[in-house]
Chain A
Amino acid sequence: MRVAVRKLEGVESVDVSLERGAATIALRPGNRITLPQLRQIIKNNGFTAKDATVTVIGTVVERGGKPALSVTGTDVVWLLAGSNAAYADAMQHVKAPQTAPVEAAGTVAAPANESQPEVLVVQALKAVGK
């Protein structure tokens, strides 16, 4: 699995621990790798990928009056969820749209099926470079 993920363009490092049941993947700036892509590779190697804790850089956009994170370049939009200060910050972006990118960290649950939109439960949100 480690070798297969490592082959993807944009992967900086891969650490797989079967003992911990975790795969940690660091990605280079400018990569176009998506979470479903990583899940698929893991599946192809006989494992099941569950929840993911991610750090992502993107732009907060509005979807149905709620905040979402536009993962441009991959045509992916993650709906944002949460009930903390980070989510409140994201709501501010909806009320006063900004084009400046933000760095978001949080958890994306394994989708029940491929057509289900992914939801990022945001735990931290900050302007890029701060």
Chain B
Amino acid sequence: MNVFRTRTRTGGIGAAALALLLIVPSLAQAELRRVDLKIFGMD
């Protein structure tokens, strides 16, 4: 019974770690926040 409980907890931690791996790269990603483009003319 105790062994079963330990495995369940490890699985929970694994799921949390996986969730973090999925979230963290998106936080680290660079992105444009503001763009001021010079434009001119109609072709």
Contact = CB atoms under 8 A, between A and B. Distances in A.
Binding between chains A and B: yes
Interface of A: 1, 16, 18, 21-27, 29-35, 38-39, 42-43, 46-59, 69-74, 99, 101, 103
Interface of B is mostly: strand
Contacts, number: 110
Interface residues of B, number: 18
Given A72-B28, A72-B29, A99-B28, A48 B34 contact: no
Interface in B1-43: 25-26, 28-43
A56 B31 contact: yes
The 8 A-B residue pairs with the shortest CB-CB distance, nearest first, are A58-B30, A73-B29, A50-B38, A53-B36, A55-B34, A72-B29, A55-B33, A25-B35
A25 B36 CA distance: 6
Contacts of A46: 42-43
